[in-house]
Each structure stands twice: as C-alpha cells, then as structure tokens.
Amino acid sequence: MLILGIETSCDETAAAVVEDGVKCLGSSLATSRELHEKTGGVIPEIAARKQVESIVPVIEDCLEKAGVSLEDIDKLAVTVGPGLIGSLVVGVAAAKSLALATGKPLIPVNHLVGHIYGSWVDAEVLPELPAVVLIVSGGHTDLVLMKNHGDLEYLGGTLDDAAGEAFDKTARLLGIKKYLGGAELSEVASECKVNDLAGKLPRPKINDEDFDFSFSGLKTAVKRLAEESDEDVSCMAREFEDAAVEVLVKKTIRASEQYGVRSILLGGGVAANKELRESLQKESSAGGFALHVPPIHLCTDNAIYIASAAFFNQVEKSLEEIAADPSLGIMD
Ligand code: KG4
Ligand code: ZN
C-alpha cells in the first residue's frame, strides 16, 4: 500500500510516499528556517506564507522522486496538529483537495504520533511492542506507553519548558547566538575538557515517582551559575547537557522497568543529541531493553513518519466527512 503523507505543522513543508508504512520511496522537504534565523524565532504568518508557496512543488517533487503518479497512491495522510494553525491549514487544505479530486481516502495524523514512527521507516529491525517512547522536541517532552499501534497511554511530560526549548534558551543565555541553538550548545559542550562543574546543576524531578519533567528551573540555575562562576562556557554547556540528559534517561528507563516493556523508542528533534543517544543506549543495554533511535533526518520534522503513522493507524475520513468538515480535526 502506497501512502502519500503531507506535513506542514511548523516551518517545514514536507511530502513523502511510503510503502506499507516501512519503506520510503521518495520524500521532499522545503523549509523557511533561514527566514526565521533572521528574526530569532518563527513568525507564524511568515511560516504560513512559505507553506502556501512550497506545498504544490513539494508534493510534485516527492511523487517524481518516488517514481509514481497520483493514480498509484492508495491513501493520503496529513498532519492535523499540534502545530501552528496557519501552517497546518495549508497542508490540510492540500490533502483535502487531493482526496476530493481523486476519491482517495484521507487519514488525519497527530504530529506527535508521527514522531514515534521515525523508528519504523527503513529500519534494520522493527520495534517490538509494547514500548516506552520518549518524544523530545522543541515543543514537546512526552513519555508514552505504546501498547500497540493506536493504543497509547500518556505517562508524563514536561510541566514547563520542552527539552528542546530548554536547550535553545540555555544556548541563548550562554551567548550562543544561533537560532535553535540546541545543537550548537552540544557542540560547545564537547569542547569542555575537565568538567569542574559536574553535579553543580540540579537534576529536576529525577527521583520523583511520576513521569513528568521540569526544565525551566534548570535553565534559571544555569543563568545563576553563569553569573557566579568564571568557568568556561563550554563546561557550563556540558553540565547543562549532562543534567538534562540524565533526567531524560533515568525517567525513561524507570518507566520501561515499571511497565515491563522490552523496547524503548526515541523521537523528536532533540533525539539528534549525541549525548542523549549514547547515554540512553548505554542504560538500555544495561537494563536489557532494545533501543530504537531513528536516523537524524527522521528525528526532525518530515512527512515520511506521517505516512508511516497513517499506515499503522488507518482511521480514514470518508469523502462526505472530508467535504463537510473544514478543519478535519485541527481545531480540536
Ligand atoms: O522536532 P523538531 O525538529 O521540531 C519540533 O517539532 O519542535 O525539534 C527541534 C528542537 C529544537 O529545539 C532544537 O534546538 C533541538 O530540537 N535540537 C537539539 C539538537 N538538534 C536539534 N537539541 C539538542 N541537541 C541537538 N543535537
Ligand atoms: Zn516535531
């Protein structure tokens, strides 16, 4: 079965053709990130305008790369949220138009469920369920128990800043100017030779029984540390990264033990973080869990995992529903 997936939840316009949920035949992606770098943050209106410009060329390009035509596609899929509303409606309008014009069914996909399926596409080994999933992105930090496809239980999440947001804000207060400085902070941290600050920052909620996280206090503690200490920026970055990663890993492993799963899945932009990947791999191996981490291009936003998620969660909208519901559920 060929599914054409469309993703436009933020500043990326993406389309992909995926076969049977596991094999990517072709994918295309345009981003307006360069424009947001100039302003230091995403301006929703600008992101939405770029979505309008890019959506048709991106869909055409992905079909060409996959070597298929629209007639070959069995079903359509589109991200319906969460995300920036002005961006989301562009993808939803495009997907609805294609569904109405071709008569093909349309599957609405939740963006966060999409992130989970980065571990299914072109993977050497497919994850065994049940699994505990850690989704860490710029907007979300969630621990989810995945009992089966379509059977997810929310275990906990951030009470304030998302993990990626904490990385980005900490990068800024350490003087790292780059927009979305999370990855850059990690680069800077790798330059710290001897970390004299080890253990100086709190590990928020690390021993709490719940599966929630809190990163805003950690960010404030870095600010204080930066004011009080004359240590290298690289070691402050190292200590922040260590603290954040330690909490994420410890709570993920504890959830996996408590719920008796064999597999752990990682997803979201912060899953690109080397420390997090390595530390979670080490602790997963020690605990006897199989860890599944997507390649970097399937950690950040794309349409490949949207098409895959649609295959494994085929709750279709009929043509009547598509015609009648202008939002397809994005306003829920
Ligand atoms: O999933 P994503 O691409 O977009 C959202 O849906 O939010 O995640 C982007 C987030 C940003 O906060 C970015 O700084 C962070 O992921 N990020 C990283 C790294 N690469 C991306 N954070 C820490 N270390 C990295 N290597
Ligand atoms: Zn995302």
Atom 17 of ligand 1 has which residue's CA nearest to it?
270
Which ligand is the nearest neighbour of the Cα of 167?
1
Residue 6, SS3 per DSSP:
strand
Structure tokens at 75: 């079903």
Q: Which pLDDT score is estimated for 228?
A: 86
As beta bridge partners, residue 264 has: 132, 291
Report the pLDDT value the prediction gives residue 42, as an integer from 0 to 100.
Answer: 85
> Which of 79, 135, 300 gets mutated to test ligand 1 (max ligand atoms within 8 A of its CB)?
300
Q: What residues line ligand 1, using a CB cutoff of 6 Å?
A: 137-139, 164, 167-168, 180, 182-183, 186, 268-270, 272-273, 300-301
Atom of ligand 1 nearest to the CA of 9: 6
The protein residue whose alpha carbon is closest to atom 19 in ligand 1 is 183
The Cβ of residue 206 has, within 10 Å, a number of other Cβ atoms equal to 15
Looking at residue 332, its pLDDT comes to 62
User: What's the gap in Å between 194 CA and the centre of ligand 2?
Assistant: 34
Q: Whose CA is nearest to atom 1 of ligand 1?
A: 269
Asked whether the beta carbons of 244 and 218 are under 8 A apart, the reply is yes
Instruction: Answer whether 24's CB lies under 8 Å from 14's CB.
Output: no
Handedness of CA 91, 82, 148, 316 (dihedral sign): negative
pLDDT of residue 229: 80
Residue 300 CA, ligand 2 centroid: distance in Å = 6
130 with 257: CB under 8 angstroms?
Answer: no
Ligand found nearest the CA of 31: 1
Q: Atom 7 in ligand 1: which residue has the minimum CA distance?
A: 138
Q: With contact defined as beta carbons under 8 Å apart, do 188 and 233 qualify?
A: yes
Give residue 320's pLDDT: 86
- Alpha-carbon distance of 299 to 263, in angstroms, equals 18
Q: What's the confidence (pLDDT) of residue 325? A: 82
Cα–ligand 1 centroid distance for 192 (angstroms): 22
Nearest to 204 by CA among 193, 192, 216, 196: 216
For residue 83, the CA-to-ligand 2 centroid distance in Å is 9
- CA of 139 from ligand 2 middle (Å) equals 7
Show the CA angle centred on residue 298, arms to residues 55 and 37, nearest 5°.
60
> Maximum distance among all alpha carbons in the chain?
65
What is the residue with the minimal CA distance to atom 8 of ligand 1?
A: 269
Ligand 1: which of 167, 170, 184, 249 to mutate, judged by most atoms within 8 Å of the beta carbon? 167
Specify the ligand 1 atom closest to the Cα of 115.
Answer: 1
- Average pLDDT per 10 consecutive residues for the chain, totaling 332 residues: 97 97 98 83 91 98 98 97 95 96 95 95 96 94 97 97 95 88 94 89 96 94 88 93 98 98 96 96 98 94 97 90 82 66
8 A C-beta contact, residue 213 and residue 137: no
Q: 231-235: long-range contacts (C-beta < 8 A, 24 or more apart)?
A: 231/196, 231/197, 232/191, 232/192, 233/174, 233/175, 233/188, 234/188, 234/189, 234/190, 234/191, 234/192, 235/192, 235/194, 235/195, 235/196, 235/197
pTM for the complete prediction? 0.94
Cis peptide before 204 (omega within 30 of 0): no
